[in-house]
Structure 1
């Protein structure tokens, strides 16, 4: 196996750590340590008698690197090798487990599971699409369905109609759930519904809209545009980005463009990540206790 020798070794330094050999395969997300370039492998080819990989970053730009040392895979230093070399020298068990967009280990050959009675409710279609893109695999494994509410103004009535109880739980993700807000009062009213306590969890993020839960660096900007008071928020954001913003079709296209830049949980703000994980844990806690896990 190769050794971890990025930079000179001082006399008396610990023995160099052996690195895991990883095949240079299309779709692998790598970081080049020397330049900090992060991207997916889109090509593996020979150039100038060397084996090189082309890494495409989130903006569609590509850069080629020689295989070998100097790469990080999920934060782990690895030796990037030709697939044929890896197959000859390393057992299949050494391959890194595939990860979903949420960072969880991908469950292979999963049999279809009957959906739980429990549900995740989110405010709108965009919230549902974002949760599905990042946590979709996890939700299918757990049999959890995400449903958009199209607004939370009458959340208490919706919770009452759902009739929450043991084995029939609700996890609700609310936009702009901050102290003193209208949303905080709505959440409190929903939790006062009979059967809600212990069976309903209302969590939220501080953003006006779930769009803001996407890290601005994903779009190549330092911060989200400031929307003037009295301007529709989505329209103002699109204008600030210099994108079409006049019609509902423009808004839909803008969201599609934003969502297309989201690849993994690392593209989202921690304030959203923690809340979604909290909801999933809440909805699966009863079964985990029954299984003794």
Structure 2
């Protein structure tokens, strides 16, 4: 620069620092706004971490890797995520029962219905083994069941299944769905299910010994559920492994960590949704 010559004002000329650092292409680019619905698969561009949306914590989204179950927390910043190869602005979805034309989602992932007159309960219903099963089903599918008028009742033990089914007299207009644990070929539960299964009765379940195990272990910070030696009550073994002697307190912790169907194993999600479809058909 010649002596006495004034330096160019910022923005003049075509130097790489003469305008916005990211350049006019990025500055003027409009990204698509996408609600971060649970189950949506996205990539965090800064870290290249890819996962599915499982919940929100303040202004941050928690993504879970489909391969490892690892969860990571990312702030919802404009342009920080991509769907496939497309950068997007990821935002929180409308709350359940949100504004007109923008319904939210229930914990089961279905579209929330605008509150109205309660539906009269159907004659058909769903039976579950115990109180924990009932509480978990209520937390994730409660909104859906109320809309459909489906009542969930406890068996308080699968041994009484045949007597309860006989007393309820299921029929074409009173279908009965039953959710049981440890539904694997040859098990006691499987044999009892075979006794009642029919045109108007559907029994589904999971391979797990207890419904606790149908909650993804990553939800409470575990890579996998601890292995409990055969012959030892599963709940007692889990409480001992996790250092919580009171099963009731541990269950409250587990239930409180479940936000949606994405926090449950697919076998339980599929089993419950099959029962709802069967009873409401």
TM range (shorter): 0.7 to 0.9
Report the Cα offset of residue 280 of structure 1.
Answer: 0.4
1:272 corresponds to which residue?
268
2:224 corresponds to which residue?
223
1:143 corresponds to which residue?
149
Give a deviation string over 1:144-197, Cα, whole Å, max 9, x none. 011111111121111111111121111001110100111111111223xxxxx3
Equivalent residue in structure 2 for 1:33, among 37, 44, 49: 44
2:10 corresponds to which residue?
none
1:281 aligns with 2:277: yes
2:185 corresponds to which residue?
179
1:67 aligns with 2:77: yes
Unaligned runs of 5+ in 1: 1-7, 9-15, 43-52, 83-91, 192-196, 286-293
- Residues 232 and 21 of structure 1, relative CA distance in 2, 3 Å threshold: closer
Unaligned runs of 5+ in 2: 1-21, 23-28, 65-70, 93-98
Report the Cα offset of residue 252 of structure 1.
Answer: 1.1
1:119 aligns with 2:131: no
Aligned residues: 233
Larger Rg computed on CA atoms = 2
Which secondary structure does the structure 1 equivalent of 2:126 belong to? Answer: strand
Which secondary structure does the structure 1 equivalent of 2:203 belong to? Answer: strand
For the Cα contact (< 8 Å) 2:124–2:175, is it kept in 1? yes
- Residues 279 and 17 of structure 1, relative CA distance in 2, 3 Å threshold: farther
- Residues 201 and 40 of structure 1, relative CA distance in 2, 3 Å threshold: same
Counterparts of 1:85-234 in structure 2, within 5 Å, are 97-191=103-197, 197-234=198-235
Give a deviation string over 1:95-152, Cα, whole Å, max 9, x none. 8641111000011123211111111000000001011111111101100011111111
Which secondary structure does the structure 2 equivalent of 1:154 belong to? Answer: helix
Report the Cα offset of residue 72 of structure 1.
Answer: 6.3
Which secondary structure does the structure 1 equivalent of 2:79 belong to? Answer: strand
Which secondary structure does the structure 2 equivalent of 1:153 belong to? Answer: helix
- Residues 157 and 97 of structure 1, relative CA distance in 2, 3 Å threshold: same
Which secondary structure does the structure 2 equivalent of 1:172 belong to? Answer: strand
For the Cα contact (< 8 Å) 2:31–2:89, is it kept in 1? no
For the Cα contact (< 8 Å) 1:110–1:141, is it kept in 2? no
Report the Cα offset of residue 63 of structure 1.
Answer: 6.2
- Residues 134 and 64 of structure 1, relative CA distance in 2, 3 Å threshold: closer
Equivalent residue in structure 2 for 1:20, among 8, 33, 41: 33
TM-score, normalised relative to structure 2: 0.73
**Cα distance in 2 between the residues matched to 1:80 and 1:208:** 39
- Residues 77 and 168 of structure 1, relative CA distance in 2, 3 Å threshold: farther
For the Cα contact (< 8 Å) 2:31–2:79, is it kept in 1? no
For the Cα contact (< 8 Å) 2:179–2:205, is it kept in 1? yes
**Cα distance in 2 between the residues matched to 1:171 and 1:220:** 33
- Residues 166 and 210 of structure 1, relative CA distance in 2, 3 Å threshold: same
